[in-house]
Amino acid sequence: MSLMTAEQYINSLRNLKRDIYILGEKVDNAVDHPMVRPSLNSVAKTYELAHDPQYQGLFTARSTLTGRPVNRFCHLHQNTGDLISKVKMQRVLGQKTGSCFQRCVGMDAFNAVDTVTFEMDRALGTTYNKRFRDYLAYVQDKDLVVDGAMTDPKGDRSLRPFELPDPDLYLHVVEKRSDGIVVKGAKAHQTGMLNSHEILVMPTVTMGQEDKDYAVCFAVPADAEGLIYIYGRQSCDTRKLEGGDIDVGNAKYGGHEALVIFENVFVPWDRVFMMGEHQFSGALVERFAGYHRQSYGGCKVGVGDVLIGAAASLADYNGCGRASHIRDKLIEMVHLNETLYACGIACSCEGKKMASGTYLIDLLLANVCKQNVTRFPYEIARLAEDIAGGIMVTMPSEKDYRNPEIGHFIDKYLCGVKGVPTEHRMRMLRLVENLTLGAAAVGYRTESLHGAGSPQAQRIMINRQADMDSKKKLARVIAGIDKE
């Protein structure tokens, strides 16, 4: 099959029969639901740009499994050029959508699972890597969206999975059969889950011997029996139900998360890629996290470009674009944003070939990248709110603006510089609000903190990867204590 078009992708989701709940109600048609559709449009952009001559080289690659062109989101990185192209592609998508485009988690899961299963097979004599690559070839051939599912609810974080009074708080195997396994549990914060064809499940922490039933990696179709989807609430999300577009801020694009329940879901053996090999669970978690922390040096930067552009536009609309303090704030925003991008590119350039042939980013620099992402977007957002002014959060609604009795007052009193329609100023203000406080803030501001692991997770990895002993050795040599 050739690469799907955006329209083909959207229509392909209509064939999935799933149990989906949004705001307490079961939804039969999520594809056209006003709270879901903007996020679906963002994923569709990954298909659209793969056919655009201007971006095709960035958004597609040649599969090492089939030899055919595939969407880069389904590709195994074969060199540092692939790692760099990934980050550049993500920045473009952030610029085009101003939101989360949801396919990064699956791409990062593919590459992590490939490297770990290869090493698992070599050490244990299993055949997981062949199973996985057969599965990935299927995904590539069908040009599917796969949701990478790692985060478990966890419950009491002071307890190991096997110690919890409710074993379902970590997804686990409840039955082994001749034809496969049965799993139960949940995965939380699942980005783009309602827009995915498949789910690739991974363990969420390093497992011990007692946790071996939780050390499981597998793939299932998104409409597998026993899956229940509960849509995640976002700030200002019901504005999408009001019928207008100004107050939404970014009416066409968006992102979403969901809580996914696995209620005794069957997985055939050919889709099982880890089953009890707890000693490899830590490597899978660390590599997936590393790839995903690299991703934030692209996607968050692209959205940052949009936010910087919106703040600069508002400064112009307000007549203060040339003020020195405004220019200085915009410079600081650019500086912070490009620093994030530099880290994403750096960890890609320093990537290394793994035993499977797939390239892994430099884990230390990837974690430094994400640690910066937990801080810099917050400052970028603060500066954007500063430049926008308080009207961003006190402005009347679009319905008031459209009201023939009072709309003319809003048009008169909320104007900016001459020549810029009041509506344009209102739209830009709502865009900044959307990116810093509203639904898009989930995929920019808050996700920058908690996505791909919260700040302490990166600090643990930075400490682990820093090789402090070698730095001490350097100092002893320079100080004349040791010889080189």
Q: Mark which of 261, 280, 299 sits at the end of a domain.
A: 280
Do residues 225 and 319 both lie within one domain?
Answer: no
pLDDT per residue as tens digits for the range 197-235: 999 999 999 999 999 999 999 999 999 999 999 999 999
In a domain, 470, yes or no: no
DSSP letters of 405-426? Answer: TTHHHHHHHT--STTS-HHHHH
Using only C-alpha atoms, what is the Rg of the chain?
Answer: 24
Do residues 265 and 307 both lie within one domain?
Answer: no
Mean pLDDT of 384-393: 97
In a domain, 355, yes or no: yes
Do residues 170 and 289 both lie within one domain?
Answer: no
Determine the 3-state secondary structure of 359 from DSSP.
strand
Which contiguous run of DSSP H or E holds residue 482? none
Confidence of residue 155 (pLDDT cuts 50, 70, 90): very high
pLDDT of residue 1: 65
Confidence of residue 404 (pLDDT cuts 50, 70, 90): very high
Tokens of 307: 């936010």
In a domain, 197, yes or no: yes
Asked if 339 contacts 326 with a C-beta cutoff of 8 angstroms, the reply is no
* CA dist 208 → 282, 363, 379 (Å): 9, 23, 39
Q: What is the phi/psi pair of residue 294, to 5°?
A: -60, -40
Nearest to 200 by CA among 80, 122, 117: 117
In a domain, 480, yes or no: no
CA distance 422 to 410: 8
In a domain, 22, yes or no: yes
Do residues 104 and 243 both lie within one domain?
Answer: yes
CA distance 169 to 151: 10
Higher pLDDT residue, 440 or 245?
Answer: 245
CA distance 477 to 484: 6
Q: Flag whether pLDDT at 442 surpasses 90.
A: no
Do residues 106 and 160 both lie within one domain?
Answer: yes
Q: What is the phi/psi pair of residue 301, to 5°?
A: -70, -40
- For residue 80, the domain's CATH number is 2.40.110.10
Do residues 314 and 357 both lie within one domain?
Answer: yes
Higher pLDDT residue, 190 or 1?
Answer: 190
Nearest to 102 by CA among 179, 162, 30, 46: 46
**What beta strand segments (E) does 54-178 contain?**
60-62, 69-71, 146-149, 172-177
Tokens of 217: 């990696």
pLDDT of residue 269: 98
Confidence of residue 391 (pLDDT cuts 50, 70, 90): very high
Q: Flag whether pLDDT at 428 surpasses 80.
A: yes
Determine the 3-state secondary structure of 104 from DSSP.
helix
In a domain, 414, yes or no: yes
Which residue matches tokens 């009074």?
Answer: 165
CA 26 remoteness from chain centre: 26
CA distance 50 to 119: 32
Do residues 435 and 292 both lie within one domain?
Answer: yes
Largest CA distance in the chain: 85
Do residues 80 and 185 both lie within one domain?
Answer: yes
Task: Give the number of other Cβ atoms within 10 Å of residue 350's Cβ.
Answer: 15
- In total, how many domains does the chain have? 2
Higher pLDDT residue, 482 or 441?
Answer: 482
Q: Flag whether pLDDT at 2 surpasses 80.
A: no
pLDDT of residue 443: 82
In a domain, 440, yes or no: yes
Do residues 369 and 249 both lie within one domain?
Answer: no
Asked if 9 contacts 196 with a C-beta cutoff of 8 angstroms, the reply is no
Tokens of 196: 């995915």
Confidence of residue 441 (pLDDT cuts 50, 70, 90): confident
- What global pTM score does this model have? 0.96
Which contiguous run of DSSP H or E holds residue 58? helix 56-59
- Domain, as residue range, for 359: 283-465
Confidence of residue 19 (pLDDT cuts 50, 70, 90): very high
Nearest to 194 by CA among 52, 328, 316, 29: 29
Q: Mark which of 236, 260, 280 sits at the end of a domain.
A: 280
pLDDT of residue 315: 98
Tokens of 43: 């994923």
Do residues 264 and 325 both lie within one domain?
Answer: no
CA distance 266 to 382: 47
Asked if 211 contacts 154 with a C-beta cutoff of 8 angstroms, the reply is no
The rounded percent of the chain whose pLDDT value lies above 90 is 97
Q: Going by C-beta distance under 8 Å and a sequence separation of 6 or more, which residues neighbour residue 449? A: 374, 378, 455
Active site residues: 100, 104, 191, 257, 292, 296, 299, 447
Tokens of 450: 């908690």
Tokens of 438: 């509203």
Do residues 306 and 428 both lie within one domain?
Answer: yes
pLDDT per residue as tens digits for the range 247-271: 999 999 999 999 999 999 999 999 9
In a domain, 26, yes or no: yes
Do residues 300 and 206 both lie within one domain?
Answer: no
- For residue 288, the domain's CATH number is 1.20.140.10
